[in-house]
């Protein structure tokens, strides 16, 4: 399985000085990533990250452990969705395989920031705290825009969107809301440079994350604290004075 490249780039973005972290070999990790000095994937906070059991590393298949360790090593922390979905290893593999297909697709007119904004808008519509928080962070990183994801989350109609972005999100939300998709939807997209294949991509992202939203709500998945600060402050500003 290919590594989930979005989370592997998070290490370059730091956290504010009042955010408690442990630093080991130059890798940022939250205190809850450790148990007795050893890395473990079980729930260790006062508020569990899921209502389902979180398996420990020693109980997981090797390929899942390998992916988790690579993501954590390169990203600085392990997003909770990896821990939660590890409860069902076969579903874990299928979920991230399809995630890779739609999110790391090299063709088409959707940028990485576009894809993350689609996820933010549709996840806000589905009232999913985990996906809104995590993908708002990724949108800030890819777009270098610190406010747009927040605006879309609060009120997409009033957000400072370009005509292109608005057409893209209106189509994604039509899919997320189970509207009847008509030729008019495609015509509006085409007016802003999106072809039929782009429409498919937008729809697949909206549909996949509608499923993801429902999984997160089912499991009561909690966002990692690290996500809240990512993309808001440059590393130099977030480091405590020496």
Is residue 154 pLDDT above 70, yes or no?
yes
Predicted pLDDT of residue 47: 78
Is residue 126 pLDDT above 70, yes or no?
yes
Lowest average pLDDT, out of 3-17, 62-76, 208-222, goes to 3-17
Of the pLDDT bands very low, low, confident and very high (cuts 50, 70, 90), residue 40 is: very low
Fold classification of 107-219 is AhpD-like (1.20.1290)
What integer best gives the mean pLDDT of the chain?
84
Is residue 239 pLDDT above 90, yes or no?
no
The b-or-e profile of 127-166 (16+ CB within 10 A means b, else e) is ebbbbbbbbbbbbbbbbebeebbeebbeebeebebeeebe
pTM of the shown model: 0.81
The number of residues in the chain equals 242
User: What is the assigned CATH class of domain 5-102?
Assistant: mainly alpha
The CA R_g of the chain, rounded to the nearest whole Å, is 18
Lowest average pLDDT, out of 12-21, 122-131, 182-191, goes to 12-21
pLDDT tens column, 81-121: 999 999 999 999 999 999 999 999 999 999 999 999 999 99
Alpha carbons 138 and 7: distance in angstroms, whole number: 8
Annotated domain spans of the chain: 5-102, 107-219
């Amino acid at each position: 399985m290919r590594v989930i490249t979005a989370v592997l780039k998070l290490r370059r973005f730091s956290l504010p000085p009042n955010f408690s972290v442990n630093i080991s070999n130059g890798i940022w990790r939250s205190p809850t990533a450790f148990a007795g000095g050893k890395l473990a994937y079980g729930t260790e906070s006062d508020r569990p990250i899921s209502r389902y059991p979180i398996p420990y590393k020693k109980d997981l298949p090797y390929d899942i452990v390998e992916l988790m360790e690579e993501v954590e090593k390169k990203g600085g922390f392990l997003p909770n969705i990896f821990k939660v979905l590890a409860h069902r290893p076969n579903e874990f593999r299928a979920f991230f395989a399809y995630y890779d297909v739609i999110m790391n697709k090299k063709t088409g007119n959707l940028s990485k920031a576009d894809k993350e904004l689609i996820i933010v808008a549709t996840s806000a519509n589905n009232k999913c705290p985990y996906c809104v928080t995590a993908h708002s962070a990724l949108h800030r990183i890819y777009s270098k825009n610190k406010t747009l994801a927040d605006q879309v989350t609060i009120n997409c109609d009033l957000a400072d969107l370009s005509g292109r972005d608005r057409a893209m999100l209106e189509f994604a939300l039509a899919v997320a809301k189970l509207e009847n998709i008509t030729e008019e939807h495609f015509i509006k997209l085409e007016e802003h440079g999106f072809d039929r294949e782009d429409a498919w991509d937008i729809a697949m992202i909206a549909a996949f994350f509608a499923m993801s939203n429902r999984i997160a709500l089912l499991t009561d998945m909690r966002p990692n604290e690290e996500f809240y600060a990512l993309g808001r402050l440059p590393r130099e500003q977030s480091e405590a004075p020496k």
